[in-house]
Amino acid sequence: MNDPAPAHPYPDSSRPDGDPAPHPLLAPVLGLLGTWHGRGEGGYPSLDGDFTYAQEVTFSHDGRPFLRYEARAWLLGADGAPLRPSARESGWWRLQADGRVESLITQPTGIAEIAVGTADGTTVDLTTDQVALAPTAKEVGATRRVYTLTDDGTLTFTHDLEAVGLPLQHHLSARLRRAE
Ligand code: HEM
C-alpha cells in the first residue's frame, strides 16, 4: 500500500516577511505580494455600454524568482450586488536581474499571453510580446497592463486591449486594497 501523500514541503507565501524568504530578484515586486480586493470600470467600443466589476488578485511566491499571479473578477449591478462571474486568469511573472519582467498569463476564454515589461518597486508595466489563441477564442492582438502602488496602500490597475479588429485602447481600470 502507498504511504499517504505528504503535505507539500514548499508552500507558497504571499508575504514579503514570510517563510520562505522572497528571492532577491523579487525586490521590485515585493509590494505586490498578498491578496487584493477592489472595484473597477470597464468598456470597449464593440460592447453595449460600460460595466462595473469587482476583482480579487493574489500574488505569491515559493522562494524562487517568479510570482504566481491569480485574478478573478465578477460583474456588479447598479446597486453594487454581484451580477455574474466574469474574467479570470492566472500565470507566472518571471523577474530578471535587470528589473525586466516576463509574464505568462492564461485565461479560460482561450487566450494565452506572454507579456514583457519592467518593475521598479512602484509600477509594473507589461506589454504583449506574443498572444496564442485557442481555435474558438475571440481575436486578441495585444494588451498593456499597468499596476501602480500608491502611497496610501492602493494598487491601481489599467488594462488596454487590442481586439476584434480595434486598436489598443482602454478596457479596464480598477483600484484595489490589500485584503491580507
Ligand atoms: C477584470 C477583468 C475583466 C473584466 C471584468 C472583463 C469584462 C468584460 C465584459 C463584461 C465583456 C463583455 C462580454 C461579456 O459580457 O462577458 C468583455 C469582453 C471582452 N474582453 Fe474583457 N474583461 C476582463 C479582462 C479581459 C482580458 C484580460 C482580456 C484579454 C486579454 C479581455 C478581452 C476581452 C475581449 C476580447 C472581449 C470581447 C470583445 C467583443 O467581442 O467585442 N478582457 N470583457
pLDDT, the chain, mean: 96
Chain centroid offset of residue 85 CA? 16
> Whose C-alpha lies nearest to ligand 1, atom 3?
87
Cell of 11: 508552500
Return the ligand 1 atom nearest residue 143 CA.
Answer: 30
Distance CA 17, CA 34 (A): 11
The amino acid present at 60, given as its one-letter code, is S
pLDDT at residue 1 tops 80: no
What value does the mean pLDDT take over residues 43-70?
Answer: 98
- Look at phi and psi of residue 99 and say left if phi exceeds 0, alpha if psi is from -120 to 50, else beta: left
pLDDT confidence tier of residue 97, bands split at 50, 70 and 90: very high
pLDDT tens per residue across span 130-154: 999 999 999 999 999 999 999 999 9
Distance CA 37, CA 144 (A): 21
Residue 153 contacts by C-beta under 8 Å, 6 or more apart in sequence?
177, 178
Please provide residue 77's backbone torsions phi and psi, each rounded to the nearest 5 degrees: -80, 175
Q: Residue 72's pLDDT is what?
A: 98
- Tell me, in angstroms, the distance from the centre of ligand 1 to residue 66's CA: 26
> Whose C-alpha lies nearest to ligand 1, atom 37?
138
Distance CA 35, CA 45 (A): 31
What value does the mean pLDDT take over residues 21-46?
Answer: 97
pLDDT at residue 99 tops 90: no
pLDDT confidence tier of residue 28, bands split at 50, 70 and 90: very high
- Tell me, in angstroms, the distance from the centre of ligand 1 to residue 25's CA: 32
pLDDT confidence tier of residue 8, bands split at 50, 70 and 90: confident
SS3 for 111? strand
DSSP state, 112? E
Percent of the chain at pLDDT > 90 equals 92
Q: How much is the pTM?
A: 0.95
What value does the mean pLDDT take over residues 83-100?
Answer: 97
What value does the mean pLDDT take over residues 93-98?
Answer: 96
pLDDT at residue 4 tops 80: no
Q: Where are the domains of the chain?
A: 24-178
Is 37 annotated as ligand-binding?
Answer: no
- Please state the ipTM of this predicted complex: 0.97
Q: Which CATH class is domain 24-178?
A: mainly beta
Nearest 5 degrees, angle CA 108-CA 139-CA 160?
85
- Tell me, in angstroms, the distance from the centre of ligand 1 to residue 60's CA: 25
> Whose C-alpha lies nearest to ligand 1, atom 39?
46
Return the ligand 1 atom nearest residue 86 CA.
Answer: 5
Return the ligand 1 atom nearest residue 46 CA.
Answer: 41
Is 171 annotated as ligand-binding?
Answer: yes
Q: Which residues pair with 161 in a beta bridge?
A: 143, 169
Ligand 1, CB within 6 Å, residue ranges = 42, 44, 46-47, 51, 53, 55, 73, 75, 86-87, 89, 111, 138, 140, 143, 159, 161, 163-164, 171-172
